[in-house]
Amino acid sequence: MPTETGPRNRESVGEPGRASGPGRTVTRPTRVLVVEDNRLLREGILAILDREPDFAVVAVAEDAPSALRCVPEAEPHVVLVDASLGDQDAHHVVEHIRQAAPETRVIVMDLLPVAEDVLEFIRRGASGFVLKEATVDDLVHAVRSVAEGRDVLPSVVTGTLFSQIAEEGESGASPHVSRAVRMTRREREIIDLIAEGLSNKEIAKRIHLSPHTVKSHVHNILEKLALHSRLQLAAHAHKGELSTDGSPSSTDQDSLPPEP
């Protein structure tokens, strides 16, 4: 088990999942970067992930500077980040990772997260959270879910997180901005499905589009609303700032762009 910080053996780069070639189907593993300053925890996480055939731990890092150096070289699909990196601000680490690699999704590992902390990580671009007391199955499930486009929250905070976002009104765009943004009917339909907790692949199957097309729609929606993650988007839908019946709000019915 390697204990040094840095890239490990490289695997083929590309989206996690399956890719067809002439006469064969190749499984692309989910590429994972682990950022953990505790050596025992780091090696334990590596041992767990290395047992899974659909995961490839491509790099490990014990501090923020090492993690940020690894991201462009290792090209991970998912980064596991310890919420307590000594005297380093893990919120900034998450933000810098997302800025350097917008397609990379980040899971934060914490011992006992509070809603305020989780909310701040979401604002910085995190897509999931895993409690350090979670089971092996919980960790593996979280990595797979986030790699597939889902967002994962610990049950101890899900009851309060959306309500806190609604109360503070700070999840990226004000109600007035949200109502003024022009959305296509397709985009509103996708917002509704994200609010239901569906992944991009599940949405694609539901509305008969390719996963790539759905991903493009989600990217456009986030840009229009100045949001950073699907969690923020789902929170907006739960707040009622966005239509939750797939139809345009009355404020922009007449100016709605045509469905693509």
pLDDT at 104: 94
User: What six digits make up the tokens of 159?
Assistant: 């009851």
Domain chopping of the chain, boundaries: 6-163, 171-239
Q: State the pLDDT confidence band at 15, using cuts at 50, 70 and 90.
A: low
Contact 85, 93 (CB under 8 A): yes
pLDDT at 250: 34
pLDDT digits (tens, 9 = 90+) for 35-44: 999 899 999 9
Whether residue 206 has pLDDT greater than 60: yes
User: What six digits make up the tokens of 32?
Assistant: 């994972």
Q: What is the CATH number of domain 171-239?
A: 1.10.10.10
User: What six digits make up the tokens of 134?
Assistant: 């979670």
Whether residue 66 has pLDDT greater than 80: yes
Whether residue 253 has pLDDT greater than 60: no
CATH number for 6-163 (one of 1.10.10.10, 3.40.50.2300, 3.20.20.150, 3.40.50.300): it is 3.40.50.2300
> Going by C-beta distance under 8 Å and a sequence separation of 6 or more, which residues neighbour residue 193?
202, 203, 206, 207
pLDDT top residue among 239 and 149 = 149
Contact 79, 32 (CB under 8 A): yes
CA atoms within 13 A on the CB side of 72: 6
User: What is the crossing angle of helices 115-124 and 90-100, to 10°?
Assistant: 20
The pLDDT of 17-33, averaged and rounded, is 63
Whether residue 224 has pLDDT greater than 80: no
Contact 59, 33 (CB under 8 A): yes
Task: In whole angstroms, give the CA distance from residue 248 to residue 94.
Answer: 34
Report the C-alpha dihedral over residues 163, 197, 154, 36, rounded to 10 degrees.
Answer: -120
Residue type, 258: P
Highest mean pLDDT among 1-5, 57-61, 109-113, 125-129: 57-61
The pTM assigned to this predicted structure is 0.60
